[in-house]
Amino acid sequence: MTQAYVLLDRDGVINVDSDDYIKSPEEWHPIPGSLEAIALFNKNNYKVIVITNQSGLGRGFYGEATLSKIHQKMVQLVNEKGGKIDAIYYCPHTQDDNCSCRKPNPGLLKRFSTENNRSLSDLFFIGDKLADLQAAEAAGAKFILVKTGKGEKTLINNPEISSPIFKNLYEAAKFIIT
C-alpha cells in the first residue's frame, strides 16, 4: 500500500498569519482546530508535510535558529494533540531572488516528490493563498483552499477558483479522510 501524505502551507493554515511576519515562537499561535486536524490526519495514516515560504529569513527579520525554534514550538504543540509533522520544507528566499522553490513556483513540492519517490497527482496541498494554488497546479498536486489566514481575501480576489474550499483545516481534513 502506498503511504498517504497531505501537504500543508503553514502561515494562515496551521497558525495565525501576520502581515508583519511570524518572527518568534511567541508570535506563533495555532488556528483553532488546526492541531487537531493534523492529529486526525495521522490517526487515519496520513503523513503530514509542511510546505512554506519563509521570506522573513531572506529579509533579515529572523535567522535560521529562530525559525527552528518556531518550528519546534509548532511540532511540540501538534505532538501534545496526538499528531505529528513528518517534514517541513521551507523557502528562505524573497520574491526578488527568482528561485524555483518560492511558491507560486513548484520547487518545494517537487523536492518532496523526489525525496519521497512519490507522485503528487493524488496528493492534496492545502493553502490559503493564490500562490499555494499555483504551486499545486504547477507541481501536479490537488489543491484545497481554506478560508483561514488570507483564504477569504484570496477567494474574493479570485472568484474563479474551482478547487474545494473549506472553512478551516479541520473541515478540509474531514473531507480528505472520508
For the chain, domains (ranges, CATH) are 10-124+133-177 (3.40.50.1000)
Residue pointed to by grid coordinates 509548532 = 74
Catalytic residue (choose from 9, 17, 128, 132):
9
Mean pLDDT of 16-31: 97
pLDDT band at 110 (very low <50, low <70, confident <90, very high): very high
> In sequence order, what are the residues at sequence separation of 6 or more whose Cβ sits closer than 8 angstroms to the Cβ of residue 60?
none
Is residue 2 very low, low, confident or very high in pLDDT (cuts 50, 70, 90)?
Answer: confident
DSSP 132-177: HHHHHHHHT-EEEEESTTTHHHHHHH-TT--S-EESSHHHHHHHHH
pLDDT above 90 covers what percent of the chain?
Answer: 98
Q: Is 9 a catalytic residue?
A: yes
Would residue 11 show up in a list of annotated catalytic residues for this protein?
A: yes
Its pTM stands at: 0.97
Phi, psi of 116 (to 5 degrees): -110, 5
Q: Is the pLDDT of residue 49 over 80?
A: yes
Cα torsion through 14, 18, 23, 29, rounded to 10: -40
Of the listed 11, 17, 128, 132, which one is catalytic? Answer: 11
Output the average pLDDT for the chain.
97
